Amino acid sequence: MTNLVCHRGLAKVAPENTIPAFTQAFKASADGIEFDVQLTKDKEIVVCHDNSVNRTSNGKGNIKDMTLKELRELDFGEKFDEKYKGTKIPTLKEVLDISRGFKMINIELKAQGGGDLDLAQRVLFEVRYNKYDNYTVYSSFDLNLVKEMKRQDSNCVTAFIYSQKGMLKYQLAKKYTQFAVENELDYLHPNYQAMDKHYIKNCHEKGIGVNVWGADCKMAKIKLIKAGLDCLTTDDIDSVIKIRDKYIER
C-alpha cells in the first residue's frame, strides 16, 4: 500500500518544518513525514528547508552562519499565524523524539558547501542513537551527499531526488534503474512529471522503491496510487488519504 508522507509536516495548517506541523501530520493519520536538515555554525542539526531564515522566521541570515542559540532566539511561527507565535526552529533530535508513531520518516539533507561529511556523520549518529534506523530514508538532490551517506553506513536507506529539469532529466529518462543500481540507491524520488506506471514497474523489478513528490493534480495522484507507488509526499494529506482509501484495493 502506498505510504502517504506529509511534506515538511502538515504545512498547510502549521508552520512548515516545526514541531506543531509534525504533530498535526500525526493527527491527520499520515504514514510519515518529510523534513529538511542542515548544520548550524556550531555544527548542530536543525530542521529547516531554506538556507536562510528570512522566509520562515522574524530574523535574517544564513543558518550556516548562525549558532543554535542565535537561531533559538528567532520566531518561526508568527509569520504563519499569530497563534503559533513563539515557535522555535527544531533540532533533529526533537523531531525524532516526537516521531515514534510514524511508519517512516524521510530526512532530506541540505549541504551548504563543504559540509557533506559533517552532515552525513552527525545525522547518522543522531538517528542511530535514537534507534530510528529502521524508519528512516535519507534523501537529497545532491547525489554526492547521498553517496556519502551510503559510504558512511552501507545499510542505511538512501534516495536521490530529482525533477524534470536539468541534465539529469536526460541521464535518467531511460536509464533510471541503471542509475539507481550504479549509485546504490534504495529509492528514487522523482517529480511526478518525470515518471509513469512503467517507471514504477521497472523500479520494482530491480528492487528500487519510488517516492513521488509534486503531484497536485487529483488524476495524477489516482494514477500513481493505482500503479503501486511506494510513497507519495504531499502537501494535502486529507484528500490523498481519501483517494488511497477509495482506489488502493481495486
Tens-place pLDDT, residues 98-117: 998 999 999 999 977 655 78
Give the lowest-confidence range in 26-35, 130-139, 169-178, 207-216.
169-178
Q: Give percent above pLDDT 90 in the chain.
A: 71
> 204 with 228: CB under 8 angstroms?
yes
Q: Per DSSP, which regions of 83-132 are E strands?
A: 104-109
Query: What residues make up the domain containing 197?
Result: 3-247
pLDDT of residue 167: 46
Give the lowest-confidence range in 84-88, 130-134, 151-155.
130-134
pLDDT of residue 250: 43
Question: In CATH, what number is assigned to the domain containing residue 179?
Answer: 3.20.20.190
CA of 172: how far to CAs of 36, 60, 69, 122, in Å?
Answer: 24, 37, 42, 30
In one-letter notation, the amino acid at residue 77 is G
pLDDT, greater one: 87 or 165: 87
pLDDT of residue 164: 67
Count up the domains in the chain and report the number: 1
What value does the mean pLDDT of the chain take? 91
Provide the grid cell at 238. Answer: 486529507
- What is the distance between the alpha carbons of residues 101 and 178, in angstroms, rounded to a whole number? 35
Question: What are the residue numbers of the active site?
Answer: 7, 49
